[in-house]
């Protein structure tokens, strides 16, 4: 009786082991099939985007001798006149292999090289001739010894490091980087300081008492609009400084801002002299 019972248990154990081994093998096969299926799904579908045709279309529209669109529409499309645009392209492509018929010839290298080639001229301090011209304009406007208007612009920093969010967050509840600038009446940005977590400026007289204070406040607010216009035009021309900053490195964000200021001043000079 005992022998028969033990034999039954052995048969049950053996049968259980067989079933377990079979199920485990089936599970492994199923898992391998799932992995193969997932790998096949990750493959990107090739899409023929006709890049060469798009390049040819862009060239015929704006850069050929008999371009489809006139010069004023080139300025609307590229935010600057064609001669200035080609000046930047020719200077960079002639001296830097990075910009010579290669993919992705934009980005950080452009910002750095743009500063190296044009920064000394378009981020310079005012020369004696510049100062005299600015002082004359300031005196005509009723503000002797004024060379420009100063103000700050807050650029939202979307990917601000968590450890810094407290010191870079203001009333809006979102971290921002301060861009301090001095701009003259022609919208040239003469001074730019980028990156401090906060800034405070003396505002115009909120409640002027008497005719003199009222007149001064009116003229001060009118002159202050120079730098406000410069900020607005800078953001309208370069959308990257209008949307929240996606980089986490403050140094790289500063390079982007300086590159935009250089091109902004180049456009101001081109339109002023043209």
pLDDT tens-digit series, residues 198-228: 555 556 677 777 788 888 788 788 888 888 9
For the chain, the C-alpha Rg in angstroms (whole number) is 32
Distance CA 221, CA 149 (A): 10
Residue 220's H or E segment, with its range, is helix 211-237
Separation of alpha carbons 26 and 272, rounded Å: 78
Q: For residue 197, what pLDDT band results from cuts at 50, 70 and 90?
A: low
Nearest-CA neighbor of 118 among 252, 263, 267, 238? Answer: 263
Where are the domains positioned within the chain?
Answer: 51-121, 126-273
Between CA 188 and CA 148 the distance in angstroms is 9
Other CB atoms within a 10 A radius of the CB of residue 220 amount to: 16
Position 103 confidence tier, pLDDT thresholds 50, 70, 90: very low
* Under 8 Å between Cβ of 166 and 178: no
Q: What is the pLDDT of residue 165?
A: 82
Separation of alpha carbons 208 and 68, rounded Å: 56
pLDDT in tens, 220-261: 888 888 889 999 999 998 888 888 888 878 888 888 889 899
| Residue 67: pLDDT over 50 | yes
Q: Look at the block and give the residue holding tokens 């002639």.
A: 94
Residues near 67 by beta carbon (within 8 Å), at least 6 away in sequence: 60, 61, 74
Contact between residue 212 and residue 219 where contact means Cβ atoms under 8 Å apart: no
Sheet holding 189-194, edge to edge: 149-156, 176-183, 189-194
Per-residue confidence (pLDDT) for residue 45, from 0 to 100:
77
224 against 126, higher pLDDT: 126
Average pLDDT over residues 180-203: 78
Q: Rounded CA gap, 253 and 157, in Å?
A: 9
This prediction has a pTM of: 0.66
pLDDT of residue 183: 92
Q: Is the pLDDT of residue 105 over 60?
A: no
Q: Which residues, 6+ apart, have CB-to-CB distance to 50 below 8 Å?
A: none
pLDDT in tens, 1-37: 445 555 565 666 677 667 767 776 777 777 776 666 6
């Amino acid at each position: 009786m005992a022998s028969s019972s033990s034999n039954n248990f052995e048969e049950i154990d053996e049968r259980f082991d067989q079933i377990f081994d079979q199920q485990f093998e089936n599970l492994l096969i199923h898992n391998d099939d799932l992995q193969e299926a997932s790998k096949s799904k990750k493959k990107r579908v090739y899409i023929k985007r006709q890049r060469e045709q798009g390049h040819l279309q862009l060239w015929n529209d704006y850069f050929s001798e008999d371009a489809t669109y006139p010069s004023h529409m080139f300025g609307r499309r590229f935010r600057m006149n064609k001669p200035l645009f080609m000046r930047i392209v020719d200077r960079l492509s002639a001296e830097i292999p990075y910009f010579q018929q290669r993919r992705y010839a934009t980005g950080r290298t452009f910002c750095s090289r743009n500063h190296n080639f044009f920064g000394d001229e378009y981020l310079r301090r005012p020369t004696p001739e510049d100062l005299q011209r600015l002082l004359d304009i300031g005196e005509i406007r009723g503000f002797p010894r004024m060379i420009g208007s100063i103000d700050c612009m807050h650029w939202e920093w979307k990917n601000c490091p968590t450890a810094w969010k407290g010191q870079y967050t203001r009333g809006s509840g979102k971290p921002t980087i301060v861009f301090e600038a001095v701009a003259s009446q022609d919208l040239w940005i003469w001074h730019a300081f980028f990156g401090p977590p906060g800034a405070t400026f003396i505002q115009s007289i909120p409640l002027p008492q008497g005719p003199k204070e009222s007149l001064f406040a009116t003229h001060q607010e009118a002159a202050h609009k120079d730098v406000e216009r410069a900020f607005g035009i800078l953001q309208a021309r370069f959308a990257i400084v209008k949307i929240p900053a996606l980089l986490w490195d403050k140094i790289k964000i500063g390079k982007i801002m300086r590159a935009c200021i250089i091109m902004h001043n180049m456009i101001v000079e081109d339109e002023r002299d043209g």
